[in-house]
């Protein structure tokens, strides 16, 4: 049933392996894919992995730095695999505990791990326990609990009234008498209530008449009407709005007229540029060479958090010391010195706080949970360092995991790739895609400026044929970029040109013509601007997949804004899914990199970078940090993680 089972160290030394009968293919390919895509990328939140036709499950042993991997055909449903891999781990640890405690690669190579008999015994036990039990014969009616119930027990009673069986129907006369008694009781209650309200509850009828006569006589002798209660005062009307007094309100119109001033007063109208329609002077920094990384200025909050943790540790140690003598001292050392293995119960409170912290920093909730599970699996069973707390250990592990996620498994070097494409006499093609309003056209112009600064010529293909003003926006960027780099500096040829066919045309056809035009005119780079589309818009997603499949660009960049949280996961998953569904090849072209925009608007809520990179496994190539052409940076993983872990 199993194709293979392998036990190896995190250093890469295989301690023992098993290969199923009839399996001829080597398991090195699936295991290497597991290491590259999951373990090294800190994605161990889920203990399963699929590679081609195989399904792999793994378990990490952090105390002895071991990895247990089992592989089987993914069409099979093996319910015993999870328990089986746990049993194998426990038996292997118990049998070779002394050998495993001798750390070092040489010790592993010298030891001989004969684990075959134990493995087959455990596998037989697991298969036997997982076999389906014999079907239970159906009970007949006499054996069921329903047969024991009587008709009387199934009759429901209401508010303790007698049922038909117990008392029969009430007589009409009894019913009428009950109604009369009830109505009489209600009238008595109403009369008594009225008497109480009038204040006459203790007087007879004659006394009430005498008192009313006395009131009437006193009223007549007084000669006036009874005083009415004073009415509530009328609300005052709100005062009207006071007139505003302006600073120059007392001056006449003639004093405010500056149109007749002479040149000595240097009026603004005389100093204005006579050519009002000319392009404004743009001050842009130079961007030659590689892009600078995103800077993050860490404040003193992190130091305060560390000091707070130290104060908590000191307070706990003082409590232990006060308990008395050497017992308190040894209790203090026991809580600090690395003498125990971390368990899930120890880490759970800290991980819950870390999860809430990541979600507050805009990390998608699902991604935050998977990261915390991955850190727990990475630390479970590991011996704590000397004089360290659980919180500091978990925080450091999470920080290392985040840095590992943000560091790309492949480096995208656009300048080198453009030079290589130029040597082959073909343009380097980049396609930009994303949802509406994230800044595709603006960041395309920034990337154009960066490429021009490095001596390349750029052709912009206006393939957004839906949004009104999209072509005019690109034409404005082209005019401003050419004003920064006049044609005189590029041999009389403009550094940037715009290829457009208007609106309502097929975007894939425009992109194909633009690439052919760039090849004939010897352009170095073609930047394809596509229409913004929501991930649920099936027709537009189909058009995007067609554009990428027909033109096969060298780089497909997804443009996303740093303001999104859980939406980033949905966008990237559905964009990749649409590209895969509408592709006609076995290996569809998916997103190759990410452009993260509006990074200057989020302060330290940088969680979108983690969410996007975790979902796609692709690097963040560019980061937009402002509104000028030079506000383009590369991702600095350490700076982003520092901002993310800031309290």
Tell the burial category of 635 from Cβ atoms under 10 Å away from its Cβ (0-12, 13-18, 19+): buried
pLDDT of residue 451: 93
* DSSP letter (8 states) at residue 38: I
Is residue 531 domain-resident?
yes
**Residue 547, helix vs strand vs coil:** helix
Count: domains in the chain:
2
**Residues 381, 340: Cα–Cα separation, whole Å:** 9
**Residues 123, 177: Cα–Cα separation, whole Å:** 83
- Size (the chain), residues: 647
**CA angle at 550 for the pair 547 and 553, rounded to the nearest 5°:** 75
Phi, psi of 479 (to 5 degrees): -65, -40
Are 480 and 494 within 8 A, CB to CB? no
Q: What is the span of the domain harbouring residue 569?
A: 414-636
Question: Whole-prediction pTM value?
Answer: 0.63
Which pair of structure tokens corresponds to residue 384?
A: 């704590």
Is residue 423 domain-resident?
yes
Is residue 206 domain-resident?
no
Angstrom distances, CA of residue 220 to CA of 186, 191, 209, 212, 539: 39, 31, 17, 13, 93
Which pair of structure tokens corresponds to residue 494?
A: 């403009």
Terminus-to-terminus CA distance in the chain, angstroms?
Answer: 50
pLDDT of residue 136: 64
**Residues 619, 159: Cα–Cα separation, whole Å:** 71
Are 51 and 75 within 8 A, CB to CB? no
Whole-number average pLDDT of the chain: 76
Is residue 460 domain-resident?
yes
Angstrom distances, CA of residue 564 to CA of 361, 438, 573: 11, 10, 14
Tell the burial category of 478 from Cβ atoms under 10 Å away from its Cβ (0-12, 13-18, 19+): buried
Is residue 144 domain-resident?
no
CATH of the domain at 617: 3.40.50.300
* DSSP letter (8 states) at residue 634: B
Is residue 241 domain-resident?
no
DSSP H helices, 102-143, are: 105-110, 116-130
**What is the 3-state secondary structure of 248-313?**
CCCCCCHHHCCCCCCHHHCCHHHHCCCCCCCCCCCCCCCCCCCCCECCCCCCCHHHHHHHHHHHHH
Domain boundary among 130, 152, 178: 130
- Residues lower than pLDDT 70 in the chain: 42-46, 103-111, 132-136, 154, 156-203, 222-239, 247-284, 295-340, 385-387, 647
Which value, to the nearest 10 degrees, does the dihedral of the CA atoms of residues 432, 435, 438, 440 take? 20
Are 557 and 621 within 8 A, CB to CB? yes
**Residues 75, 1: Cα–Cα separation, whole Å:** 11
Domain boundary among 100, 130, 160: 130
Are 421 and 517 within 8 A, CB to CB? no
CATH of the domain at 23: 3.30.450.60
Are 420 and 517 within 8 A, CB to CB? no
**Residues 228, 559: Cα–Cα separation, whole Å:** 77
Percent pLDDT > 70 in the chain is 72
Mind listing the pLDDT tens digit for each residue in 168-201?
444 444 444 454 454 555 554 544 444 444 555 5
**Residue 208, helix vs strand vs coil:** helix
Which value, to the nearest 10 degrees, does the dihedral of the CA atoms of residues 629, 635, 639, 640 take? 100
Domain boundary among 91, 108, 130: 130
Is residue 568 domain-resident?
yes
Is residue 541 domain-resident?
yes
CA torsion through residues 342, 344, 348, 351, sign = positive
pLDDT of residue 471: 92
């Amino acid at each position: 049933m199993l194709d293979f089972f392998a036990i190896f160290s995190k250093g890469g030394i295989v301690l023992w392996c098993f290969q199923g009968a009839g399996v001829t293919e080597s398991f090195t390919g699936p295991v290497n894919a597991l290491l590259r895509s999951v373990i090294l990328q800190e994605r161990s939140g889920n203990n399963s992995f699929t590679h081609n036709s195989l399904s792999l499950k793994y378990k990490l042993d952090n105390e002895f730095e071991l990895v247990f991997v089992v592989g089987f055909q993914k069409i099979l449903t093996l319910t015993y695999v999870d328990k089986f891999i746990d049993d194998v781990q426990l038996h292997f640890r118990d049998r070779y505990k002394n050998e495993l405690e001798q750390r070092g690669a040489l010790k592993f190579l010298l030891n001989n791990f004969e684990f075959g008999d134990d493995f087959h015994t455990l596998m037989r036990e697991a298969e036997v326990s997982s076999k389906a039990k014999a079907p239970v014969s159906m009970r007949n009616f006499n054996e069921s609990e329903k047969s024991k119930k009587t008709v009387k027990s199934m009759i429901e009673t209401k508010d303790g009234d007698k049922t038909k069986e117990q008392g029969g129907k009430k007589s009409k006369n009894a019913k009428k008498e009950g109604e009369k008694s009830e109505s009489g009781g209600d009238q008595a209650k109403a009369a008594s209530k009225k008497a109480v309200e009038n204040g006459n509850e203790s007087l007879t009828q004659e006394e009430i008449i005498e008192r009313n006569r006395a009131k009437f006589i006193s009223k007549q002798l007084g000669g006036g009407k009874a005083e009415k209660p004073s009415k509530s005062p009328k609300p005052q009307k709100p005062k009207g709005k006071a007139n505003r007094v302006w600073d120059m309100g007392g001056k006449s119109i003639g004093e405010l007229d500056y149109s007749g001033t002479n040149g000595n007063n240097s009026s603004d109208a005389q100093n204005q540029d006579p050519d009002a329609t000319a392009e404004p002077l743009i001050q842009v920094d130079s961007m030659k060479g590689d892009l600078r990384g995103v800077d993050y200025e860490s404040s003193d909050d992190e130091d305060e958090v560390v000091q707070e943790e130290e104060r908590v540790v000191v307070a706990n140690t003082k409590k232990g010391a006060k308990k008395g003598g050497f017992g308190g001292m040894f209790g203090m050392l026991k809580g600090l010195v690395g003498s125990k293995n971390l368990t899930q119960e120890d880490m759970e409170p800290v991980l819950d706080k870390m999860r809430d912290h990541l979600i507050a920093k805009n990390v998608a909730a699902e991604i935050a949970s998977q990261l915390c599970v991955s850190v727990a699996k990475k630390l479970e069973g590991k011996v704590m360092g000397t004089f360290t707390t659980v919180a500091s250990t978990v925080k450091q592990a999470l920080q290392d995991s985040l840095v590992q996620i943000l560091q790309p498994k492949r480096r995208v070097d656009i300048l080198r790739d453009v030079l290589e494409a130029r040597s082959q006499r073909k343009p380097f093609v980049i396609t930009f895609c994303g949802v509406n309003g994230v800044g595709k056209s603006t960041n395309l112009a920034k990337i154009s400026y960066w490429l021009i600064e490095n001596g390349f010529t750029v052709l912009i293909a206006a393939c957004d044929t839906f949004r009104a003003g999209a072509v005019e926006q690109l034409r404005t960027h082209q005019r401003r970029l050419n004003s920064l780099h006049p044609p005189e500096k590029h041999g009389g040829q403009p550094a940037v040109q715009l290829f457009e066919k208007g609106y309502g045309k097929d975007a894939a056809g425009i992109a194909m013509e633009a690439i052919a035009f760039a090849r004939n005119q010897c352009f170095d780079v073609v930047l394809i601007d596509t229409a913004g589309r929501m991930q649920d818009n099936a027709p537009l997603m189909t058009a995007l997949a067609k554009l990428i499949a027909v033109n096969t660009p060298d780089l497909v960049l997804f443009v996303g804004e740093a303001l999104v949280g859980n939406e980033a996961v949905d966008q990237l998953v559905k964009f990749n899914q649409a590209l895969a569904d509408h592709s006609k090849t076995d290996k569809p072209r998916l997103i190759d990199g990410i452009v993260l925009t509006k990074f200057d608007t989020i302060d330290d809520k940088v969680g979108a970078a983690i969410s996007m990179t975790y979902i796609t496994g692709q690097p963040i190539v560019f980061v937009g940090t402002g509104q000028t052409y030079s506000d383009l940076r590369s991702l600095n993983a350490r700076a982003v993680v520092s901002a993310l872990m800031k309290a």
